[in-house]
C-alpha cells in the first residue's frame, strides 16, 4: 500500500448541491427525533410505517437526498423535499499512512473541512472523529486549536464520519470497527445535543448497532457538561484531556483551565462517576521538559487517587512552529514506571499516522483543502 496516497471522492460533486440546500429555508430531516418524524408524516397524510423506512435510508443505507428513498411514494418524496434536506459530511480527500492509518477530509457546507481518522492496530480498529468545524478552546499544543471555530457539526455529519470509516475498515482491512473516539476536531461537550444524537444512532439497532461501551468521548474539561453526562446517565466512556496535574502548568497550555480548574473538574468527575459507575480515563500528552518529570508524575498520581481512573500517556506530535516537543523515550518510560509503582493503570500510546499528520493533535495541520482564511490571525 502506498504511503501518503491521496484519493479524490466521487461524491465530491455533490458538495455544491448540499451547500445550496443549507442556504435555503429547508430543515435537516436527520435532526428530527423519531417522534417528530412520525408526527410530520401524519401531518403529510402518510402512514406511520414510512418513518421506519426513512430512518433506514438515513441511518443505514446512507441516502444523500430524499429523492434517493425509492421505496417511498413519489408524492411523499416531493412533499418532504419541499421542506427538508439531508445534511451530509462528504468525503473529499483521503490519505493512507505507511502504518495503514487512514485520514479522511470530509466537506460540509461545500467549503468547510473536518477530519476523521481510522486507526488499525493488532487489537483494535478505531475511528477518531470530529464534532466541530474548528475549535474555540485554542489549546497551545493542538493544530485544531489554531483554527477558527466555524460551527458545530450536526448529529448526522458526525455519524457520517463513523459510517464511512466503518465501511473502510471492512472493505480495506476485512475487520469490523471496534472502537469510536470523539477526539478529533472540536470539543464534543460544547456540541452536546448533536454529539448525543450521533451516539444515539451509532448505538441504535436502526443505525449501526454498536455498543456504547465501545465509544469514548474526550473533553478538555467542561465541568458543567461533565455533570450533565452524569445526570443523563450515559453508557459510553469519558476521557479527560488532562496533560498537567497542577493548575499553573495546565493554565499555560489550556485556556479552559482558567474557568474549569482542577478542583472544579475533580468535583465534576466524582459526580459523573457516582451517577454512572464508569471508570474515567485521563489523557496525558507528555511534553519535553514541561510535564515529563517524576515530580509531574507524582502530582498526576496524587490527582488520580480521587476516583477509579486509567491513564493514557500519549506521545506528542509536534505541529508547525509549535513551542512543545516530544519527550524522550527514557523520560516516558520512567514516568510510566513511577505511576505503575503507585498502582495506577497506565497505557503508553504511541503515535500512528504521523507521516500524514493524522496523529493526536495534528488534525487540520497540513490538510490541502483547508483554506488559509480559516486560520486565526
Asked whether residue 233 carries a pLDDT value surpassing 70, the answer given is: yes
Residue ranges of the domains in the chain? 9-85, 91-374
Sheet (strand 309-315) strand order: 5-8, 90-96, 102-108, 112-120, 125-128, 179-182, 215-219, 237-241, 280-286, 309-315, 345-349
pLDDT band of residue 9 (cuts 50, 70, 90) is: very low
Asked whether residue 11 carries a pLDDT value surpassing 60, the answer given is: no
Active-site annotation holder among 93, 115, 157, 187: 115
Question: What pLDDT shows up at residue 256?
Answer: 96
Asked whether residue 101 carries a pLDDT value surpassing 80, the answer given is: yes
| Site of grid cell 472493505 | 171
At the top level of CATH, which class does the domain 9-85 belong to?
mainly alpha
Q: Average model confidence (pLDDT) for the chain?
A: 88
Q: Let me know if 40 is a catalytic residue.
A: no
Asked whether residue 279 carries a pLDDT value surpassing 80, the answer given is: yes
Active-site annotation holder among 104, 128, 139, 360: 360
* Residues pairing with 313 in the sheet: 284, 348
Task: Write down the H helix ranges in the chain.
Answer: 15-23, 34-43, 49-59, 74-83, 155-173, 192-203, 223-231, 247-253, 262-276, 294-304, 329-341
| pLDDT tens digit sequence for 172-189 | 999 999 999 999 999 999
Lowest mean pLDDT among 31-35, 240-244, 316-320: 316-320
- pLDDT, greater one: 50 or 351: 50
Asked whether residue 7 carries a pLDDT value surpassing 60, the answer given is: no
Q: Let me know if 142 is a catalytic residue.
A: no
Question: What pLDDT shows up at residue 286?
Answer: 96
| pLDDT tens digit sequence for 141-154 | 888 777 888 999 99
Average pLDDT value for residue range 66-79: 96
Asked whether residue 2 carries a pLDDT value surpassing 50, the answer given is: no
Answer whether 9-85 and 91-374 agree in fold: no
- As a whole number of angstroms, the distance between CA 177 and CA 97 comes to 18
| pLDDT tens digit sequence for 214-231 | 999 999 999 999 999 999
Question: What pLDDT shows up at residue 353?
Answer: 53
| pLDDT tens digit sequence for 109-134 | 878 999 999 999 999 999 999 999 99
Asked whether residue 333 carries a pLDDT value surpassing 80, the answer given is: yes
CATH number belonging to domain 91-374: 3.20.20.70
Amino acid at each position: 500500500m502506498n504511503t501518503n496516497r491521496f484519493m479524490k471522492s466521487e461524491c465530491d460533486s455533490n458538495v455544491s448541491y448540499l451547500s445550496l440546500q443549507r442556504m435555503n429555508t429547508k430543515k435537516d430531516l436527520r435532526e428530527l427525533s423519531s417522534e417528530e418524524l412520525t408526527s410530520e408524516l401524519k401531518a403529510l397524510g402518510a402512514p406511520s410505517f414510512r418513518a421506519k423506512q426513512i430512518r433506514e435510508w438515513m441511518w443505514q443505507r446512507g441516502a444523500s437526498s430524499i429523492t434517493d428513498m425509492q421505496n417511498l411514494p413519489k408524492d411523499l418524496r416531493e412533499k418532504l423535499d419541499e421542506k427538508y434536506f439531508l445534511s451530509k459530511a462528504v468525503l473529499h480527500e483521503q490519505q493512507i499512512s505507511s502504518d495503514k492509518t487512514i485520514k479522511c477530509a470530509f466537506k460540509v457546507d461545500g467549503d468547510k473541512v473536518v477530519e476523521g481518522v481510522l486507526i488499525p492496530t493488532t487489537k483494535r480498529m478505531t475511528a477518531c472523529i470530529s464534532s466541530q468545524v474548528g475549535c474555540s478552546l485554542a489549546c497551545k499544543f493542538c493544530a485544531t486549536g489554531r483554527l477558527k471555530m466555524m460551527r458545530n457539526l450536526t448529529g448526522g455529519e458526525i455519524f457520517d464520519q463513523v459510517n464511512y470509516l466503518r465501511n473502510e475498515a471492512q472493505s480495506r482491512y476485512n475487520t469490523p470497527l471496534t472502537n469510536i473516539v470523539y477526539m478529533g476536531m472540536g470539543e464534543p461537550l460544547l456540541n452536546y445535543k448533536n454529539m448525543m444524537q450521533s451516539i444515539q444512532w451509532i448505538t441504535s439497532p436502526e443505525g449501526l448497532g454498536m455498543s456504547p461501551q465501545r465509544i469514548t468521548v474526550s473533553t478538555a474539561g467542561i465541568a458543567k457538561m461533565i455533570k450533565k453526562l452524569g445526570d443523563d446517565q450515559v453508557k459510553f466512556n469519558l476521557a479527560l484531556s488532562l496533560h498537567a496535574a497542577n493548575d499553573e502548568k495546565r493554565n499555560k497550555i489550556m485556556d479552559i483551565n482558567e474557568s474549569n480548574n482542577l478542583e472544579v473538574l475533580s468535583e465534576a468527575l466524582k459526580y459523573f462517576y457516582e451517577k454512572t459507575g464508569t471508570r474515567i480515563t485521563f489523557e496525558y500528552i507528555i511534553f519535553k521538559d514541561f510535564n515529563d518529570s517524576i515530580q509531574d508524575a507524582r502530582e498526576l498520581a496524587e490527582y488520580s487517587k480521587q476516583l477509579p481512573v486509567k491513564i493514557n500517556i500519549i506521545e506528542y506530535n509536534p505541529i508547525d512552529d509549535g513551542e512543545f516537543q516530544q519527550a524522550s523515550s527514557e523520560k516516558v518510560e520512567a514516568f510510566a514506571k513511577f505511576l505503575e509503582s503507585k498502582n495506577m493503570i497506565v497505557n503508553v500510546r504511541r503515535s500512528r499516522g504521523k507521516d500524514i499528520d493524522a496523529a493526536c493533535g495534528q488534525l487540520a495541520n497540513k490538510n490541502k483543502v483547508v483554506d488559509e482564511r480559516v486560520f486565526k490571525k
